Every structure is written in structure tokens, then in C-alpha cells.
A and B are shown apart, each in its own frame.
Chain A
Amino acid sequence: MNRSKDLDIVAPDDLTVEALAKSVPIVSPTQTDIKSPLSDSTKKTPEIKTSPENDINQKVYDILGHTKSPFSSFLVRPKVISFPERNQDEEIYLALRPHWIINLHWIIISIFMLFVPLFFHYFSFLNFFPTQYRFSAVLFWYLFTFIFSFEKFLDWYFDVFLVTNQRVVDINFNNLLNKHFAEASLDVIQDVSSSVKGILGTFFNYGDVLIQTAAEINQINFEKVPNPEKIIKLLKELRDLSEGDSHV
């Protein structure tokens, strides 16, 4: 299995598995019961059983795959993201942002805005102003262009959805000044559904994931997130595991 080489996104279990792979073969609990003709030759090597935690981590990788870039909208077991409300034993399985393609409209507008001052000399009435005034106006225009794109970027960058081993979390900023934080435990998740809309949604495979819960906040909506089907699969898996734990 190809694992990420970026140390920032390599999970601790990756390092453990890689280190063990160099020394001894890993034998899963199911494999230990099967006797093969080669078993005599490997008899003397110590057998290492995978822990349930590693099994869950492997399941997460199997469902979601691996993240290639820390700038991705779909970060699997990220080590670069955290949040203040996080518990000490809480592990983030998946961090999501809206799909990057939804940024395209403001990127195009920003590029257009960059070239607007070049057209100023076509408007002869502006030549009436002294050079200093025109310089200040151009400086103001570029600052405005920068802050327009910067605010749009912040709006996207800090719109984060998290799936941890305990809950799902939605953090975003309304009007960039009001923080919105919503969470729901995995064991109160009742229903998960997704909807992929439009040509771009279908083409780039992004959509909304609606999580209905039995908690006070009865709906959490992950908007325009990539790979909604994988998220649903993961949430169902984690909910089943969580329910299994609660029954024991």
C-alpha cells in the first residue's frame, strides 16, 4: 500500500507499521489460525497482533484512501488540524472543507479585478486628476482586490467539517465574524444522506452530506464536500462501531 511520504500527514500508526514491516511480518488475528506449509519456517519469528485501534485506522484508510496534500479539501487522519474543543483522547479521522472548485468564481473575479487599472487610461476624464491621486486610487484598488480574495479564501479555509472517533463537528464563520460550532456524537447519528447537484457537482464529485441526529442539534450539514459517498460509508462504519461499543 502506498503511504504518504509527507511527514506532516503521516499518521503515527504509519510509522509503527513501517517500522514493524522492516523487522517482522505482521500477522492479523485471522491469519494466525490458518496453518500453512510455510508456517514452520516462520515459526520462530514473534507474532504481532494488530490492536483494535489499528484495525479502525486501517478501515479508515481502506474507505477513504490517503491524502496527498495538506492543502486538500479531504484530509484523512490529518496531523496538521486541530480545534480547541478537542478532547485529549479524540482522534480526527477526516477533516473536510468545501471542494476547491467552488473557489473558482472568486478567483476569476479577482484576476479580472487585477487588470482593471490597465483600462484607466481609456477614460480621459481620469487624466484630470494629478498623478498622486491616481497612484493612491490604484493602490486602494489593489488593496481592495487583495482583501476581496483574501476574505473569500478565509471563508473557504475556515469552513471545516471534522469526523473524529467520538463525534462529527462543523466549524464555520458566518459573515466572517460570527463563529458557528455544531457537534453530534457518533452514537446519536440516526440517518446520513447525501445529494450531488449540478454539472460541477457531478463532474468533480462533491455534494452535501446531511447528518440527522437524535441530539438537540438534529441536523448537521456538510456542504459541498468532496466524495460524499465515502463520507457516508465512514460515518455508517463509525456509527456501527460506536453502537457496538455501547452494547458491550
Chain B
Amino acid sequence: MFDLNNLNINNYFFGITKIFFVILAILYLAFSLIVVKQVTAMSKSVIDKFNSILIIFSYIHLIFSAILVISMLAL
């Protein structure tokens, strides 16, 4: 007989949620890489003194995106 008490619904729910979050975080990390590439390409098209600051911002964003993936995997 199938015992409902042994089935931990919470574990299944959080497991699925975790997989969803991890996929989302990986997609976001890929997007962050595109942003870095994009800012670099833009900086080459319009050369400006402040472009380096924007590139630094895009890299900081990439680092935080990687932290997000790690934090999702650690759930």
C-alpha cells in the first residue's frame, strides 16, 4: 500500500523550486556575459573617457551573477 506519510511533499516542492532557481540563475549568468560583451562592443563604437567605468560595472554584475548561481546551488 502506498504510504502518504513517507512521501515528503516539502522535499519535492523545494527540490523542484531549487532546480527552477538554478536554471534561472544560469540563464542570468549567460545574460551577464552577453552584457559584458555588449558594453565592450559599444565602447569600441563610441570612444569615451567613461567607458572603462561602464565595463567595470558590467564585470561587477557578472561576478554577482556568478555568486547568485553559487547561492542557488547551495540551497
Contacts and interface: CB of A to CB of B under 8 A. Distances in A.
A136 B35 contact: no
Given A140-B24, A150-B61, A177 B46 contact: no
B66 to A, nearest CB: 11
A201 interface: no
B28 interface: yes
Q: How large is the interface on B (under 10, 10 to 19, 20 to 34, 35 or more residues)?
A: 20 to 34
Interface stretch (A22-30, A80-88, A206-214): A80-88
B26 interface: no
A176 B42 CA distance: 9
Nearest to A155: B42
A147 B33 CA distance: 12
Given A80-B48, A150-B61, A158-B45, A176 B68 contact: no
Interface in B13-66: 14, 17, 21, 24-25, 28, 31-32, 34-35, 38-39, 41-42, 44-50, 54, 57-58, 61, 64-65
A43 interface: no
Contacts of A151: 35
B44 A84 contact: yes
Interface of A is mostly: mixed
A136 B46 contact: no
Contacts of B24: 140
B68 A143 contact: yes
Contacts of B47: 81-84
Nearest to A137: B21
A179 B38 CA distance: 10
Contact of A83 (B46, B65, B68): B46
A8 B21 contact: no
B46 A143 contact: no
Most buried by B among A83, A140, A146, A151: A140
A34 B71 CA distance: 80
21 contacts: A70-B49, A71-B50, A80-B50, A81-B46, A82-B47, A82-B48, A132-B74, A132-B75, A135-B71, A136-B21, A136-B75, A139-B68, A140-B25, A140-B68, A150-B61, A154-B39, A158-B45, A160-B46, A173-B42, A173-B45, A181-B45
Interface of A: 8, 70-71, 80-84, 129-130, 132-133, 135-136, 139-140, 143, 146-147, 150-151, 154, 157-158, 160, 171, 173, 176-177, 179, 181
